[in-house]
Chain A
Amino acid sequence: GNSVTQMEGPVTLSEEAFLTINCTYTATGYPSLFWYVQYPGEGLQLLLKATKADDKGSNKGFEATYRKETTSFHLEKGSVQVSDSAVYFCALSRVGSQGNLIFGKGTKLSVKP
Chain B
Amino acid sequence: GAGVSQSPRYKVAKRGQDVALRCDPISGHVSLFWYQQALGQGPEFLTYFQNEAQLDKSGLPSDRFFAERPEGSVSTLKIQRTQQEDSAVYLCASSLDRSLGDEQFFGPGTRLTVL
Contact = CB atoms under 8 A, between A and B. Distances in A.
B25 interface: no
Interface residues of B, number: 31
Given A98-B31, A99-B98, A105-B42, A46 B55 contact: no
A40 to B, nearest CB: 12
Nearest to A36: B106
B90 interface: no
Interface residues of A, number: 25
B42 A91 contact: yes
Interface string B78-98: 000000000000010101001
B101 A43 contact: no
B42 A100 contact: no
A44 B100 contact: no
A85 B79 CA distance: 34
Contacts of A69: none
A51 interface: yes
B100 A105 contact: no
A4 B43 CA distance: 12
Interface in A20-62: 31-32, 36, 42-46, 49, 51
19 contacts: A31-B100, A36-B106, A43-B108, A44-B106, A89-B43, A98-B48, A98-B50, A98-B98, A99-B33, A99-B48, A99-B98, A99-B100, A99-B102, A100-B48, A101-B35, A101-B43, A101-B104, A102-B45, A103-B42
Interface of B: 3-4, 31, 33, 35, 40-45, 48, 50, 55-56, 59, 91, 93, 95, 98-109
